[in-house]
Structure formats: structure tokens, C-alpha cells
Amino acid sequence: MGDKGLLGELEDHPYGGAEFNKEWHYLQMLHQHLTACLWWCAGNFSRDSENSPNNFAVYLLDDIGEACLAVECLASEGLHNACRRELRYLLEVGLKACFVVENNTNLTPMEQVTKFRRLLESPRINPINTLELHYFEEKIRIKFLSEFKRLYGELSKYAHLSSDQIMNQRELHQREVWRGQLDAGQQAELNSIAERCYALTLSFYLHSLPQWVAGDLMAASFMSNGDWHYLKSKFIAAIDSTFDYKHERQAELRQLVNLRAERIAF
């Protein structure tokens, strides 16, 4: 039996030792905290029966959830290159869903697919530069764009055969770390990448939903004690800060601002 996570039991890996399971629990936690938030927002937004069915980000939620689950399943077999391909896909989905939502005029999902077919089928990420990303001030927006491009570029080396991918595999072999081996160091490295990719994906998702949905999320009961992992992201913290105007925050606003700054970790 593993540790108790915020949203459920964190299971030990049947073939992993204590050091590996510490990192394995961390990946499970990242997955739990992301998907619980995504589905909570979708469920809340569904109360708006007029607009939620045509929201492209919500329409792609199953794809996002499947990719997150794939990362965990592949990591359980030590297949970290395949995990990187799924993480790249998540970034691509987040970017394109956000772009479609920002440029959509109440079309149905299938009409949006037709209208944005060239965008959806293109591997190019240039549209990132045109996104409004309305929750971010310019300074944090620049950091967001930079992190997205850096991570997408890194992960793209694993989407197709590349010299970097081959050299990385050779380095692992020299350290006697083999494909499929449950290595705590390799898992920790994957966790760091996944953590940042999930925070970017979540940021895209929240920008694709009405402001009241994001506001309700930041006031939700599972957020109140600060245990939700993605509050440690500078980008989610920036989104949270846009709701400091709310009356219920005013009495303890200074403490909230300080706490938010202190817990930023990535």
C-alpha cells in the first residue's frame, strides 16, 4: 500500500523499491491533481448548457485525459521516451484548443474542426505568439511562451528519430540503465518535465473556459488548504492572483499574496 494522496491512494509499483516508489507516487499525484481539476471545471461549466457543449477545450477533454493516463501507464514500464511523446501531444492539444476557443464564434465542435483544419493538422506552433492569454500580465506571458517553446522543442526530439534521442539512449546504456528499467533518477527527471507540461496544459485549459469557472475553481474546497499541487506553479499562481479583487479575500489579502509567492516551486 502506498501513501495517501490528496485525492486518493498512491499505489506502490509492484516491482519498484522504496527510492523508485517515492518518485512513482509523485507522478501519480501529478496525474491526480491535474485530471481532478480538469474534470471539476468541465462539470462546473456544464451548468451553462448553452455554451459548454461548443467549447473546443472541453470537447478535447477525453484526449487530454487519455494522454495523461498514457504517461502514467508508460512510465510504469520504464518507457520514458514514449512518455515524452505523450507530453508533447498534451502541449500541442492545449495550445490548439486555446487558439480555437479564442478565435471561435459559437460554432459547433465539428464546424470548428472544419474551420481550423489546417491549424489542427499542422505541427507548427506559431499560433502561440498570437494568443491573448488574458490572465497573464506581459512579464508572466513572456515567461509562459518561453517555457512552452523550450519544453515543446525538447520533447519534439523524441517525436521522431533524432541524434539527441540516440545519444541519450547511449548515455543511459553506459550507466547500465536499460529501456524498461525502473530507475528512480530517470523517473525523477520525467516527473520534472511532466510537472511543467501539466501546468502549461492546465493554464491553456483555464484560459479556454469562462472566467467564472476559473474563479470557482480557485475558491473550491480542495483548494482552500493549499494542498493542490499546481498552486506551486508560477503560472497557476498568476491566474489565481487575478481573483484577489474578490470580497472574501480582502481580509487576509496580504497573507495570501505572501503565501502564494512562498510556495512557487516551478
Query: Which domain range does residue 23 map to?
Result: 18-222
Residue 71 · residue 174 · CB < 8 Å: no
Does 245 map to a domain? no
In a domain, 99, yes or no: yes
DSSP the chain: ---B-SSSB-PPPTT--HHHHHHHHHHHHHHHHHHHHHHHHHHHHTT-TTTGGG-HHHHTHHHHHHHHHHHHHHHTTT-HHHHHHHHHHHHHHHHHHHHHHHT--S--HHHHHHHTHHHHH----GGGGG---TTS-HHHHHHHHHHHHHHHHHHHTTTS--HHHHHHHHHHHHTT--TT---HHHHHHHHHHHHHHHHHHHHHHHHTS-HHHHHHHHTSGGGTTS--GGGGSHHHHHHHHTTTTSGGGGGGHHHHHHHHHHH---
- pLDDT at res. 1: 43
* Per-residue CA distances from 69 to 40, 64, 127, 160 (Å): 17, 9, 27, 21
Q: What is the pLDDT of residues 107-133, one digit of tens each?
A: 898 999 999 999 898 888 888 999 999
pLDDT mean values, one per 10 residues, the chain (266 residues): 57 76 92 91 90 88 93 90 94 94 86 91 89 94 96 89 70 65 84 97 95 88 70 93 83 83 90
Structural domain includes residue 233: no
Whether 80 is covered by a domain: the verdict is yes
Q: Is residue 266 part of a domain?
A: no
Unique residue bearing C-alpha cell 487576509: 252
| Domain count along the chain | 1
Alpha-carbon distance of 45 to 259, in angstroms, equals 29
| Residue in the block written with cell 474542426 | 113
Q: Is residue 237, in this structure, part of any structural domain at all?
A: no
Residue 142 in any domain: the answer is: yes
200 touches 238 (CB < 8 A): no
Q: Measuring CA to CA, how many Å separate 197 from each of 161, 180, 212, 221?
A: 21, 22, 24, 25
- Whether residue 190 is contained in a domain is answered as yes
Residue 252, pLDDT score: 82
pTM for the full predicted model: 0.87
Average pLDDT of the chain to the nearest whole number = 86
